[in-house]
Amino acid sequence: MKKIIPSIFTILNLLSGFFGISFLLTNNYNLIEYCIYLSLFFDFLDGYFARKLNAVSDFGKQLDSFSDIVSFGLLPTLILYDWFINNSSNNLFRYFSILILIFSAIRLSKFNLDNRKDSVFYGLPTPVVALFFNSLIFSSDYISQFVSQELLLVLIILFSLMMVVNIPFFSLKFENYSWKSNTNRYTLLLISIILFLMFDF
């Protein structure tokens, strides 16, 4: 039974991605951004419970990647594609959005074959990329003033490449909760909370 619990959250992640796509197709933009936040939450919980219940499995790993490719690969790709349709004067730019989907698939495939037990990610994780572009597109009007089609194009190429580089990025996986072992994680969380309060999330 305990091995089913992480998979339930993985499927909820997948469903959040699906509903995000359905809201995009019906131009229900107010709900799309929350679908990615929900997917991030469920993606965190499935990993947390898999480790907590000692229920890590190859099946769960594969299911997690299939869910991630929808929620953090396909959904942000379609969000960017839609943004270019509505805001770009160059029809060619919209097709660069597909790089997010392609490199997400490559990144997740590499992750599934990586047997290193380090507490870091090699290459930028797909949820981080999805969160970044989700926040950028659905941010306040103040930030949106600085987003041009050329800048977004450069960011898409940059983040696509960052997903597959063999550079370590620290993760939010807590093996224990001591300050000494998790200084960078606690610092990031503290700064994030302060920023959320300052900018009235």
CATH number at residue 10: 1.20.120.1760
Structural domain of 114: 4-170
157 and 189 in a single domain? The answer is no
61 and 140 in a single domain? The answer is yes
Contacts of 122 (CB under 8 A, 6+ apart): 110, 114, 116, 166, 167, 168, 169
162 and 184 in a single domain? The answer is no
Q: How many domains are contained in the chain?
A: 2
125 and 176 in a single domain? The answer is no
178 and 116 in a single domain? The answer is no
Please list the pLDDT of the chain residue by residue as tens digits (201 residues): 677 888 999 999 999 999 999 999 998 888 888 899 999 999 988 888 888 888 888 888 899 999 999 999 999 999 999 999 998 889 999 999 999 999 999 999 988 887 765 667 888 999 999 999 988 888 756 666 778 889 999 999 999 999 999 888 777 666 666 777 778 878 888 888 888 788 765
